[in-house]
Amino acid sequence: MTILFIEDDTIESMKLNRTAAKLPEKHNIIQAKNGEEALEILNGPTQLPDIIFLDLNMPRMNGIEFLQILKKDPELKYLPTIILTTSQNRADLLECYRNGIAGYIIKPLKYEDYEDKIQKVIAYWEINELVKA
């Protein structure tokens, strides 16, 4: 799968790449540091990703702002978007579901737990029919 990973923290990016590299299937991970950069990628010439992993807390354009723009776009609104955050804030959770997210994952602190959760999420999306733009 091609995964667009929107995250401002470099350590988090390293964690995701390391986790994905351990999987038997190879995944193409495209990275964006914030919502603005992600929109540039999505509106650019490259093929659309299969799924999006989205952080909430980011400078310039945060996750919820990005999500609101994404879900208003006639083409981009179909992209399954999974929140990957440390925010346990219920208002954030509700706002994200209201904006049509495909999942809300709290990043575990322990690396082994993180790896376990992420691998399950990727495995789940792999058995789904994807939009394929």
Binding stretches for Mg ion (CB under 5 A):
8-9, 55, 57
Least distance (Å) between residue 20 CB and Mg ion: 19
In terms of CB distance, is 31 or 130 closer to Mg ion? 31
Least distance (Å) between residue 19 CB and Mg ion: 17
Least distance (Å) between residue 99 CB and Mg ion: 18
In terms of CB distance, is 9 or 36 closer to Mg ion? 9
Task: Using CB positions, name the residue nearest to Mg ion.
Answer: 57
Nearest to residue 30, comparing CAs of 99, 47, 62, 127? Answer: 47
In terms of CB distance, is 2 or 57 closer to Mg ion? 57
In terms of CB distance, is 23 or 105 closer to Mg ion? 105
Least distance (Å) between residue 21 CB and Mg ion: 22
